[in-house]
Amino acid sequence: MRRGVRARWTGVAAAVLLAALPRGLVAQRPAGNPIQQAFELERRGDLSGAAAAYRALLAGNPADLTALLGLERCLTASGRVEEMIPEVRTALASAPAPTLYLLALRVWAGAGLPDSMRTVAERWAATETDREVPYRAWGDLLLQRRDLAGARRAYTAGREAVGRPEILSAELAQVAQLEGDFVAAAREWLLAQRLSPGYRGAAVAGLAQAPARQRDEVRRALAEPAEPEGLGLAALVALKWDDPAGGVELLRRALTLIGPRGGADLATQFTADVRALGTVEARRALGEGLELLAERRSGAPAARTRLEAARAYAEAGEVGAARRMLDRIAGDTAAGGELAAQAARTLFEVQLAEGALADAAATLAARGAAFPVEDRAAMRLRLARGWMRQGRLDESERLVAGDSTVEGLAVAGRVALLRGRLAAARELFRLAGPFAGTRDEATARTALLALIQPVRVDSLPALGEAFVALERGDTTGAVTALDQVAGALPPAEGGASLALYAAELTVARGGADGERRLRAVAASGIPATAAAAELDLGRLLVALGRPAEAVAQLEHLILTYPGSALLPEARRLLDRARGAVPAT
Amino acid sequence: MKRRAFVSAMAAAAVWPRVRPARWGAADFLLVPMDEAQADHLKAYGVAYRVLGRQGRAEWFLNYRNGSFLLPADAGTVRDAALAGVTALPVAAAEVDRIRGELAGTNADAVPLEKAPRVAVYVPPGTPPWDDAVTMALNYAGIPFEKVWDAEVVGGRLPAYDWLHLHHEDFTGQYSKFYLTYAGAPWLREMVDLNTRMARQLGFPDVPAAKKGVAARVRGFVDRGGFLFAMCTATETLDLALAAHDVDIAASYADGTPMAADAAARLDWSRALAFQGAALETSPTVAQFSDIDGHQVNAPGRRQPLGAFTLFEFSAKIDPVNTMLVQGHRQVIPDFYGLTTSFRRARLKPGVTVLADEPGAPWVKYIHGELGQGTWTFFGGHDPEDPQHSIGDPPTDLSLHPHSPGYRLILNNVLFPAAKKKELKT
């Protein structure tokens, strides 16, 4: 059969070959005019043929730029670009033009003839009004070939030829950077700034790469001349070095030199850049930068900038500075009602953040009417949660009394839970449903409902105290209280699930006996709770770098509780523990 | 074993011996459906493979419920399927008889699976497992494999394996032609260092020469009865390296000399597995190798958009090999890019079997052929679940794609050598 198949294919192949032969032969000779033929040969990869075709065209017209560029492509791809030197010389002699000079520079560079490059650049410069252009092209070609010394010579020659110290400074800065001399680069970038402020972005990006050991000197090179350009540059570079505090100080010095009416563009760029840094220090620098920017604005834009500054200060925990900004807005007649309301809202946030709940309540009472009804309700609930966190359940309850929104019911349910009124909490959580609050809040509420569901008593103040401790951030106290409550309840009536919760809290705070607690719950045999404990154990063992034990645990979970809703998650974790999927 | 002998062996194979395995309830067997009822198509291949690894026997019901498996209902298999989350239905012997009747009357067949293939993946040392679709599929399905690279291939280790996978290796020795575009990138520097050191260690003058040596040995592996599966760049560059056995097709950065001016004309396509008559990409900065690839993803102006490819249907009883390779629950599959995404029809050698193509397009996606005693299969593209794959993309997590029809095609290839009736090596 194999022989038969081969014979058949040989026949078919021969037929195909015969049919294709005339077309194949025709295809060897591209149709069209000479330049199209040359292009076609080049496209097919017949570089020798294409080069010959381009040369034939040049024999008729030595300055045919299309043919010269085609010849350059073919010879460059073959590593033989130096072979076209005669053609380039002839072309230059017959019709010198900038494009030809540039081509000559490329060919000379490819042929490794730096002296000839200089000659071409000088001849070209003699014909140019913009005299640095040829020197820039010469240097750029050497830079591409990583000939840093040659590039420096070219740019310096250009600077000397033009006779101005700032000429080609951006190019020389790049050379210095590639040589690893960022101090010299900084000096050149300063010159480039004088030439055009448009170089600021490139300068910042370049100097950002300076190694740590050179940074102090770079900073001095920029800042010590005590010029606004250098100080501004230094401020922006400091941000790239993750030094927002140093940056804002340099910005302040630059703006002082510029004066009270100028420098808004610099301050704007600084605040835009510092926003990208996520640290507290950066938020503080943002606040200061915005405050400086606000001084350079007037009317409503100034008030809006101060409001932004207040928010940044608040996020940085600089409550005093935030209040200072908000006070300025309050005393600013240019700030309209909307802006004043936003300022009051920010003040409320600041007060909440610093735990000054009585002040926040007063702000809400005094300025609440300025807010839309929905915002006012949301602020009231935030205040209620704040009171809850401080264990002031009466105040919290008073704020949500009569609130029949799902968000209000959710907060009321949590207050009931903290008082240990489990029946009321269950009912309020049920009424709040799954859509109140954020997704995380809804998930947490559902988890709490699942936790107290099996507890068959309506009131359990000791459990409420455990949750109050948790609200206050006292995890140790919460775990102790949960242990006591769990120990007093039958495992199937909430004892096991509360013990699991205590174990999860212990693991979350890195407690040493988290694993022991989880194993104890897993051994309880209460189906849903034990399965959840086994999954938690699997996670813990993976996190502890004990994948083999995690695999055994998860296999036990999957085989023991085949109907558990946790199985998809368990299998995924099993894959991770085995290294079958990436740990993302 | 050639195709006719293989088909005869299939036909002659005794129906599974009626030795009753340890009973699981009333079940004699487990049927692993591969249609929409399957909870994890990819892991199902691993469960079947491990049955063979335990010296068990399995059957592949081609075209029955999209290529289901019949496995023994022993405790080990039941446990394995449960852990993997693979849907496995207990079936009694009478039900199996009924299914066999259905197979007999339709374009379907039962292929016995007898031996777990020994799998090797050609990959440089230290490569993360998430950069190769086959490695990911094998890891996810739980199919064991060993890694081989130039030293093992040149050192004659390939006969120890039944199945060899090549992925995105550039057998022209030009570092996937990223040398200039990614100059200075640490990963490229490492790749260059590693390849250069290995080439020297093996006594080759440069990396392109070393890769040609490796390609020749891979060809020999197939010729002597091995199963080769290649994806992405490995498909195209393997054939280019074979055809260029005495021609310099590498750019000067790779071997110090430019590509031979008449390289395209001097290629010897009789050495290649799948392709012929290709024109080479001569630019060292364009990360394409030739006009074999239909999509030219890295060639500005020539790049083609992605479509979808369609699997061919073969006769299960007459052509079981090709039928095995296209088992799937989707016949039309979204295409995905790779450095080599597809294969132009005009560049295929006569005798190459097309397993999947994009109807109306001048390219095909998935091809198969024979050489000597062995077979090869080429699948274009890099990662079936990452259609636009780029360097630095996050790794694909197959637990999020347990039903991937593209990955199923890869796993068909892994299991297909298990169907052989006799030892592969001479």
Q: Which has more confidence, A340 or B254?
A: B254
pLDDT band at B422 (very low <50, low <70, confident <90, very high): very low
Closest Cα of chain B to A46: distance in Å? 7
What phi, psi does B122 have (nearest 5°)?
-80, 110
Return the half-sphere exposure (C-beta side, CA atoms, 13 A cut-off) of residue A354: 19
Give pLDDT, residue B184: 66
CA distance A229 to A345: 38
Of A173, A181, A175, the residue nearest A213 (C-alpha): A181
- Which among B83, B282, B350 has the least Cβ separation from residue A559? B83
Please answer yes or no on whether B262 and A9 come within 8 Å at the CB atom: no
Cβ-based neighbours of A568, under 8 Å, separated by 6 or more: B85
Report how far residue A84's alpha carbon sits from residue A104's, in angstroms, rounded to the nearest whole number.
10
Short-list B404, B200, B186, B349, CA closest to A10: B349
> What pLDDT, in 10s, does the model give residues A193-235?
888 888 999 999 999 988 888 999 999 999 998 899 999 999 9
Residue A12 has pLDDT above 60, yes or no: no
Q: What pLDDT band is residue A350 in, cutting at 50, 70 and 90? A: confident
The alpha-carbon gap from B42 to the nearest alpha carbon of chain A, in Å, equals: 12
Question: Best residue in B49, B83, B143, B318 to probe A by mutation, most A CBs within 10 Å?
Answer: B83
Half-sphere exposure of A500 (CA within 13 A, CB side): 29
Contact B85 A44 (CB under 8 A): no
CA distance B9 to chain A (A): 15
User: Cα–Cα distance between B218 and B385 in angstroms, integer?
Assistant: 28
Tens-place pLDDT, residues B1-31:
444 444 444 444 433 433 333 344 557 999 9
Q: Does B395 touch chain A (CB under 8 A)?
A: yes
User: Residue A337: which pLDDT band, with cuts at 50, 70 and 90?
Assistant: confident
| Average pLDDT of every residue of chain B | 89
pLDDT number for residue A330: 73
Encode pLDDT of A38-64 as tens digits: 998 888 878 889 999 999 999 999 999
Q: A47 touching B, CB under 8 A?
A: yes
Q: Given an 8 Å threshold on Cβ–Cβ distance, is B2 in contact with A2?
A: yes
- The residue ranges of DSSP E strands in A418-517, in sequence order, are none
Share of chain A above pLDDT 70, in %: 94
Min mean pLDDT across A83-87, A199-203, A328-332 is at A328-332
Q: What is the mean pLDDT of residues A102-110?
A: 93
Is B397–A579 a contact, with Cβ atoms under 8 angstroms apart? no
pLDDT above 90 as % of chain B: 75
- Could you tell me if B413 and B321 are in contact, meaning their C-beta atoms sit under 8 angstroms apart? no
Decide: A217 and A236 in contact? Cβ < 8 Å.
no
Q: Which residues of A touch B85 (CB under 8 A)?
A: 558, 567-568, 571
The dihedrals phi and psi of B29, each to the nearest 5 degrees, come to: -140, 170
* pLDDT digits 0-9 by tens, B216-263: 999 999 999 999 999 999 999 999 999 999 999 998 888 888 888 789
pLDDT in tens, B47-98: 999 999 999 999 999 999 999 999 999 999 999 999 999 999 999 999 999 9
Enumerate residues 410 to 469 of chain A having a beta carbon within 8 A of any beta carbon in chain B.
none
Which run of H or of E encompasses A190?
helix A182-195
Q: How confident is the model at residue A343 (pLDDT cuts 50, 70, 90)?
A: confident
Residue A20 has pLDDT above 70, yes or no: no
- The most confident of A340-349, A433-442, B156-165, by mean pLDDT: B156-165
Length of chain B: 426
**pLDDT exceeds cutoff 80 at A1:** no
Chain B: closest CA distance from residue A554 (Å):
9
Is residue A398 scored above 90 in pLDDT? yes
pLDDT at residue A21, rounded to an integer: 32
> pLDDT-based confidence at A335, cuts 50/70/90?
low
Structure tokens at A520: 């104890």
Q: What is the pLDDT of residues B328-349, one digit of tens each?
A: 999 999 999 999 999 999 999 9
What string of H, E and C letters represents the secondary structure of A367-421?
HHHHCCHHHHHHHHHHHHHHHHHCCCHHHHHHHHCCCCCHHHHHHHHHHHHHCCE
| Residue B421 scores a pLDDT above 70 | no
Question: Whole-angstrom Cα distance, residue B385 to residue B400?
Answer: 10
- CA of A28, closest CA in chain B: separation in Å? 11
- Rounded to 5 degrees, φ, ψ at A477 are -60, -40
DSSP A435: G
Q: Is the pLDDT of residue B105 over 80?
A: yes
| Buried/exposed code over A118-152 (b: 16+ C-beta within 10 A; e: otherwise) | bebbeebbeeeeebbbbbbbbbbbbbeeebbebbb
Which residue does chain A place closest to B402, by CA atoms? Answer: A572
Q: Do B397 and A581 touch (CB under 8 A)?
A: yes
Mean of pLDDT over chain A: 88
pLDDT at A11 over 60: no
Residue numbers in A near B399 (CB within 8 A)? 571-572, 575, 580-581
The lowest-confidence range among A331-335, B184-188, B293-297, B361-365 is: A331-335
Contact A580 B263 (CB under 8 A): no
pLDDT tier at B390, thresholds 50, 70, 90: confident
Do A575 and B351 lie within an 8 Å CB cutoff?
no
pLDDT at res. A168:
95
Q: Is the pLDDT of residue A71 over 50?
A: yes
* Of B4, B139, B279, Cβ closest to residue A1: B4
Tell whether the model's pLDDT for residue A573 goes beyond 70.
yes
A187: number of Cβ within 10 Å: 20
B18 interfacial to chain A (CB closer than 8 Å): no
Interface touch B83/A558, C-beta < 8 Å: yes
- pLDDT on residue B26: 59
Q: What is the pLDDT of residue B420?
A: 58
Please give the pLDDT value at position A31.
54
Least confident of A22-31, A108-117, A305-314: A22-31
Judged by a CB distance cut-off of 8 A, whether residue B140 touches chain A is yes
> How far is it, in rounded angstroms, from Cα A290 to Cα A301?
11
- The stretch B350-368 carries a mean pLDDT of 96
Instruction: Name which of B80, B393, B397, B401 to mutate to probe chain A: the one with the most chain A Cβ atoms within 10 A of its Cβ.
Output: B397
Instruction: Please tell me the predicted confidence (pLDDT) of residue B14.
Output: 35
In the structure, what pLDDT confidence band is assigned to residue A19 with cuts at 50, 70 and 90? very low
The answer to whether A571 contacts B395, with C-beta atoms less than 8 Å apart, is no
